[in-house]
């Protein structure tokens, strides 16, 4: 059972992102669904995660696979029904597993009744719920661009003689967050899921809700991808957003134990840090995506984490993630010939032992791959529009590899995206039985986290180590148990590295077994060696 009085559960939790189309298909239509997730509840417990973030499963024409919502209070039949969600939530809660859902309210689907009404006439009461500009000629009102269509973000609406704004696909018209009725309608939808018992929200492009009141054109920027030569200062990331974050926070807090994590629309963590609010009266957390853009380098990862800790307001809580449904999987990003698995162990240890809430992406625990797909298999509107220059996001959304049976045990029917070719040897069932597998590395780390408070609440101090090694100490002081120091050493290279260690007991390691004692002094780290030591 979950503890509804525990308002800080999200600081201790390890989150696991489920992309529902690709997790488990329960009714043989080739698309994953809510019942499929429920069938796998044991799995989350075996692995040892504490909370799920499920990408959108709401009613949607699926032009952006659920990130285009046409009813904020219903489940799409592809994924099941509201009852299925309720049943999943109840069963998850009985096991102590929390569920966070996706709140996609920068835009709706163009098939949402609100937009259908809004576009019908300038005098419709919903008209002002979206963003419009009069259409006086062929030239769009400013230079804002539609990311997924690689063209102007303004689309004509014949009935009103206006343009509407859509910065993702044309089927995702953007809301006018300056309209109080729109805000109230969204807050109402928010309460709907909280009333059902959802444990919080991941807020889609949360920093994009407000646009410049004067609709000024963005200035030119040399940054090519994905900004298409623009510095996005007017079409997103406007200061008005903070008032809305406070509103959301007040709603969430009125339920006692719910959590909001925002997706920020910008590459610099400065923006993510600002979402917490100076007095931490904004979002509980905002995704730090910096690791997604870092090359494989101990120095760069340390710099990134250090900067994130410095940027966050003093009482804010950090978070880290390496993969999600929008970026190539990190196993693939960091693969290096035969070292791919070794690097994945280093990366997992970093993610799960730094100070902050980790977010895992389904399949990373078995090192799922992310090879480019042939054009005929592409489904993602971004991939379809930009192929072959970019390959879109389908490769990171392929079906979960459960076992070596047909379609990797994901579905008896032909899956909506192809299953990775390596599934016969790379799958959950095979890895679970192999004590040396990546799956067991994750499961061991997750168990370790739970047994060592220092890994969750302990302070973090960086250790001086040779280049290409990243190392830190986590310290927890408890009145009853005294001080606990836990040291983490990660060799990011294929070379031998000399470090100095205190006397201690190995808690987890790639070369040294847990439980082994080590002596104080110099010690050689092998290629990609991971060593987690309890000092003393």
Residues annotated as part of the active site:
204, 263
Nearest alpha carbon to residue 21 among 73, 50, 72, 64: 64
Q: Could you tell me the maximum CA-CA distance found in the chain, to the nearest angstrom?
A: 78
Rule CB under 5 A: say whether 76 interacts with Ca ion: no
Backbone angles phi, psi at 334, to 5 degrees: -100, 5
Contact mark string toward Ca ion, 18..57, x via CB under 5 A: -------x-x-x-x-x------------------------
143 and 218 Cβ atoms separated by less than 8 Å? yes
Which of the choices ligand NOJ, Ca ion, none does residue 29 contact, using the CB cut-off of 5 to 8 A by kind? Ca ion
CA distance 172 to 67: 8
Which of the choices Ca ion, ligand NOJ, none does residue 352 contact, using the CB cut-off of 5 to 8 A by kind? none
Return the number of the residue (29 or 74) whose C-beta is nearest Ca ion: 29
Return the number of the residue (126 or 325) whose C-beta is nearest ligand NOJ: 325
Rule CB under 6 A: say whether 67 interacts with ligand NOJ: yes
- In the list 25, 33, 204, 485, the residue contacting ligand NOJ (rule: CB under 6 A) is 204
- In the list 31, 92, 104, 428, the residue contacting ligand NOJ (rule: CB under 6 A) is 104
Task: Please name the residue that has the structure tokens 């079906």.
Answer: 399
Rule CB under 6 A: say whether 361 interacts with ligand NOJ: no
CA distance 430 to 292: 28
From the CB of 416, what's the least distance to Ca ion, in Å?
Answer: 9
Return the number of the residue (31 or 88) whose C-beta is nearest Ca ion: 31
363 and 371 Cβ atoms separated by less than 8 Å? no
42 and 25 Cβ atoms separated by less than 8 Å? no
Return the number of the residue (104 or 346) whose C-beta is nearest ligand NOJ: 104
From the CB of 98, what's the least distance to ligand NOJ, in Å?
Answer: 20
Burial of 117 from C-beta contacts in 10 A (0-12 / 13-18 / 19+): middle
Size of the site for ligand NOJ (CB under 6 A): 9
Asked whether the CA dihedral 455, 456, 457, 462 is positive or negative, the reply is positive
From the CB of 393, what's the least distance to ligand NOJ, in Å?
Answer: 7
Rule CB under 6 A: say whether 205 interacts with ligand NOJ: yes
Which of the choices Ca ion, ligand NOJ, none does residue 253 contact, using the CB cut-off of 5 to 8 A by kind? none
- In the list 25, 33, 64, 394, the residue contacting ligand NOJ (rule: CB under 6 A) is 64
Cβ-based neighbours of 438, under 8 Å, separated by 6 or more: 341, 344, 345, 348, 365, 366, 367, 431
From the CB of 235, what's the least distance to ligand NOJ, in Å?
Answer: 14
Asked whether the CA dihedral 10, 13, 14, 18 is positive or negative, the reply is negative
499 and 466 Cβ atoms separated by less than 8 Å? yes
From the CB of 236, what's the least distance to ligand NOJ, in Å?
Answer: 11
Rule CB under 6 A: say whether 50 interacts with ligand NOJ: no
Q: Which residues bind ligand NOJ (CB under 6 A)?
A: 64, 67, 104, 168, 204-205, 263, 325-326
């Amino acid at each position: 059972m979950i503890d509804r009085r525990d308002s800080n559960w999200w600081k201790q939790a390890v989150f696991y992102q489920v992309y529902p189309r690709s997790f488990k298909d329960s009714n043989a239509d080739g698309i994953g669904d809510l019942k499929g997730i429920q069938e796998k509840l044991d799995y989350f417990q075996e692995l040892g995660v504490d909370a799920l973030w499920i990408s959108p499963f709401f009613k949607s024409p699926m032009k952006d696979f659920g990130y285009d919502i046409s009813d904020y209070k219903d489940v799409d039949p592809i994924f099941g029904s509201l009852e299925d969600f309720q049943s999943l939530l109840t069963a998850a809660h009985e096991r102590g597993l929390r569920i966070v859902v996706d709140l996609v309210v920068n835009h709706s689907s163009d098939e949402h009744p609100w937009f259908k009404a809004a576009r019908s006439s300038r005098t419709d009461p919903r008209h002002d719920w979206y963003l419009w500009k009069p259409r006086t000629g062929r030239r769009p009102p400013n230079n804002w661009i539609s990311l997924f269509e690689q063209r102007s973000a303004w689309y004509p609406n014949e009935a009103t003689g206006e343009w509407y704004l859509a910065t993702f696909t044309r089927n995702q018209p953007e809301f006018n967050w300056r309209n109080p009725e729109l805000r109230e309608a969204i807050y109402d939808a928010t309460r709907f899921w909280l009333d059902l018992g959802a444990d919080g929200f991941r807020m889609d492009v949360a920093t994009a809700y407000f646009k410049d009141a004067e609709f000024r054109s963005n200035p030119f920027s040399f940054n090519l991808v994905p900004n298409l030569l623009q510095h996005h200062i007017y079409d997103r990331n406007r200061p008005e957003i903070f008032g809305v974050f406070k509103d959301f926070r007040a709603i969430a807090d009125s339920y006692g134990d719910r959590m909001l994590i925002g997706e920020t629309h910008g590459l610099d963590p400065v923006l993510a840090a600002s979402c917490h609010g100076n007095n931490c009266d904004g979002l509980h957390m905002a995704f730090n995506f910096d690791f997604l853009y870092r090359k494989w380098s101990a120095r760069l990862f340390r710099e990134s984490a250090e900067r994130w800790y410095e940027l966050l307001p003093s009482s804010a809580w950090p978070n880290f993630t390496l993969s999600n449904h929008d970026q190539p999987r990190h196993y693939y990003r960091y693969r290096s010939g035969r070292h791919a698995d070794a690097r994945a162990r280093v990366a997992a240890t970093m993610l799960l032992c730094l100070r902050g809430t980790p977010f895992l992406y389904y399949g990373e625990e078995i090192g799922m791959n992310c090879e480019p797909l042939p054009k005929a298999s592409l489904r993602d509107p971004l991939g379809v529009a930009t192929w072959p220059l970019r390959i879109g996001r389908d490769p990171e959304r392929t079906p979960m590899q459960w076992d070596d049976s047909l379609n990797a045990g994901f579905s008896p029917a032909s899956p909506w995206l192809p299953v990775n070719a390596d599934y016969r040897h790379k799958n959950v069932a095979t890895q679970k039985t192999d004590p040396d597998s990546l799956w067991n590395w994750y499961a061991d780390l997750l168990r370790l986290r739970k047994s060592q408070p220092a890994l969750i609440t302990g302070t973090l101090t960086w250790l001086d180590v040779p280049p290409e090694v990243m190392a830190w100490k986590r310290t927890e002081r408890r009145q009853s148990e005294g001080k606990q120091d836990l040291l983490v050493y990660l060799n990011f290279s294929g070379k031998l590295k000399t470090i100095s260690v205190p006397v201690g007991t190995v808690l987890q390691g790639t070369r040294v077994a847990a439980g082994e004692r080590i002596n104080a002094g110099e010690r050689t780290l092998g290629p990609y060696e991971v060593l987690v030591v309890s000092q003393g």
